[in-house]
Structure 1
Amino acid sequence: MNEARAGRGEHTAAEPAAEAILSVREVSRITGLSGWTLRYYEKIGLIDPVARDGSSGHRAYTRADLARIESLAHLRAAGLGIEEMRALMAARGHSSETVALKIEMLAGHSEALEAEMRRLAARRRYLDNRVAYWRAVQAGDDVEAGRLEAEGERLGNRLS
């Protein structure tokens, strides 16, 4: 493999077979990403072109491919979208600019998750209130039902 291609992580079927170690099925089992997702990620450029087995033409992933795919699987599991993953994967290396971009993007996503968690917690408080209200109604506890009804109104007004 020439150095320009090696730096980009690209492989060809003519390269040494020892580098090609895993099938789509094996990478899928390891990462939890479906074969369809692996092929899609390659098609849209999230994964560099994968070497092909010379005899079968099937994809043959290397350890370097697997490391990148595992990073993508983790980002996906953390809730990042395709474009966010694309930007992070494009910011290769450890230069001050790429590190700053990675920090900014990941911190921004973390903040968005925190806001979503607050919204979900508010929804849960409202639903828990409604369950408690209906249990009080069912038990004939009019005082508790009245208190929960007023609280439920306040909680419902806070939902976004």
Structure 2
Amino acid sequence: MFTIGDFAHLGRVSVRMLRHYDAVGLLPPAHVDPGSGYRFYTAAQLHRLNRLVALKDLGLTLEQVRVMLDEELSVEQLHGMLSLRRAELRQQIVADSARLRRVEARLRAIEKEGAMPADDVVVKPVPSARIARLTATAASYGPEDIGPVIQPLYPELLSRVERAGVPITGYGIATYEPAESDAVLVRAGVTVSVDPSDAYDFEVVDLPALAQAATIVHRGLMDDVDATYQAVATWIEANGYRQNGFAREVYLNYGDGDPADWVTELQLEIVKP
């Protein structure tokens, strides 16, 4: 038999937790010395302790754990439950990591307030462009919804364009359109010079020309685009214009090499009110 301290070490729990599990009847010691009151455990009790801790880490209450332990779950059942929980935790880690990146991006934008000159904005006409594109829907225009939608669209689009033998003749261009409620149509495109055809498993369309657009170059990850948007918004307001629709994103150099060197041009159609 093992003392409570040794058993705690073997089971990788605290003595305090073992005493608590004893008090609530989840894991009583195998033997209690009548004279000293010392608790003693057997190696076989590690099986119950392992299941107890695993079930508790699934988020079950101790009462729920008690019921499941008394049902004597098989190794296969417990493995299935733990595997499911592992997948959920991994998804949560991915979501939390993305949320942390967004918070950090907003903080960087706040730190740059007023530091990025609005005179970096260039007003110019934007010619029509023929693009191959795929479309998906995001729940909103927020980065937490746009990113997971547009990121897989481009590899899929490039794969389909390559399979079709269609040469890419220019930059990637992403556009956005409002859908129902807060939803947004996300359109990932690349410049091509072929005619539309039903033989393709992607659209070939002509983006309309913009008579006048406020354009600004953003350098780095699109996660950090907030400060650039603030600069162009300041310019639009200061010069008495109104923005017409979402910005186009023209990826002049994106996805290769050092992210600090990536270059995206934002093109916002502007009109006088």
Q: Aligned Cα RMSD in Å? A: 3.6
Distance change (3 Å), C-alpha of 1:47 and 1:142: farther
Report how far residue 123 of structure 1 moved: 2.0
C-alpha displacement of 1:58: 1.0
Give 1:33 deviation, angstroms: 2.1
1:113 aligns with 2:89: yes
Matched AA of 2:108: A
Distance 1:117 1:84, change over 3 A: farther
1:62-141 paired onto structure 2 within 5 Å: 62-76=42-56, 78-81=57-60, 82-92=62-72, 94=74, 99-100=76-77, 102=78, 105-106=81-82, 108-110=84-86, 112-137=88-113, 140-141=115-116
Scaled by the length of structure 2, the TM-score of the pair is: 0.36
| 1:104-136 CA distance string (max 9 Å, x none) | 644553454345334413421221212332443
1:26 aligns with: 6
Q: Which secondary structure does the structure 1 equivalent of 2:25 belong to?
A: coil
Native 8 Å contact 2:3 2:39 kept in 1: yes
Higher helix share: 1
Q: Which runs of 5+ in 2 are unaligned?
A: 119-217, 219-223, 231-273
- Alpha-carbon distance in 1 for matches of 2:85, 2:20: 23
Quote the Cα distance in structure 2 between the aligned partners of 1:111 and 1:52. Answer: 40
**TM-score, normalised relative to structure 1:** 0.55
- Give the C-alpha shift of residue 83 in structure 1: 4.2
CA distance in structure 2 between the partners assigned to 1:69 and 1:30 by the alignment: 10
Deviation for aligned residue 1:24: 1.6
- Distance verdict in 2 for CA 1:38–1:49, change over 3 Å: same
Which string of whole-angstrom CA distances, capped at 9 and with x for unpartnered residues, describes residues 61-107 of structure 1?
A: 1111233223433444x45333453344223154xxx955x466445
Query: Within 1, Cα distance between the matches of 2:53 and 2:93?
Result: 22
Query: Separation in 2 of the partners of 1:114 and 1:129?
Result: 23
Change (3 A) 1:93 1:120: closer
- The SS at the match of 2:39 is coil
Q: Map Cα deviations across residues 21-67 of structure 1 (whole Å, 9 max, x no partner).
A: 21122222333322221122122232145311244221111111233
> How many angstroms apart in 1 are the aligned matches of 2:73 and 2:53?
19
1:60/1:142 CA distance change after superposition, 3 Å: farther
Are the equivalent residues in 2 in contact too, given 1:136–1:142 (CA < 8 A)?
Answer: no
Work out the number of aligned pairs and report it. Answer: 125
Give the secondary structure class of the aligned counterpart of 1:63.
coil
1:47 maps onto 2:27 in alignment: yes
Larger of the two Rg values belongs to structure: 2
**1:35 matches 2:15:** yes
* Among 225, 231, 237, the residue aligned to 1:147: 225
